[in-house]
Amino acid sequence: MSQRTTDVNIIRMTAAIAALALTSACAMPPQGASPEQMAAYDNAVASMGCEMRTEREYLAVELQTGLTREQTIQAGQFRMASGAAVPLEGGGVKLVTGACA
C-alpha cells in the first residue's frame, strides 16, 4: 500500500470519526489518558502547525504523548466537542485554542 493510499484512508477514517464526535451529546476525554497526556496532546498538535491530517502527524503526536492511535483520535473528538478544535475539510483536526488561537 502506498503512502498516498494510507494517508487517504487515515483522512477518511478521521472524517468519519469526527462526524460521529460532532453528533455525540456527551464527549469525554480518552479512557486511560491522564491530564498530563491531554496537555501533551495540545502541545504536540501545536508543534505540528496546529493541524493533524496525515499519518506522519498522527504518529508524531502519538510518540510525543504516549497515547495510542485510538486515544489520539478520541482526544481530537473531545477537543472538537469542547470547542477547542474544529474538523478539517477532507478529514483531520485543527486546534483553535491555546497556542493555536
pLDDT value at position 27? Answer: 75
Strands (E), 1-101: 51-52, 85-87, 93-95
pLDDT value at position 43? Answer: 97
pLDDT value at position 12? Answer: 66
pLDDT at 14 over 90: no
| Nine cell digits for residue 2 | 502506498
pLDDT value at position 55? Answer: 94
Average pLDDT over residues 13-29: 60
Average pLDDT over residues 67-82: 95
pLDDT value at position 50? Answer: 97
Nearest to 99 by CA among 37, 57, 40, 11: 40
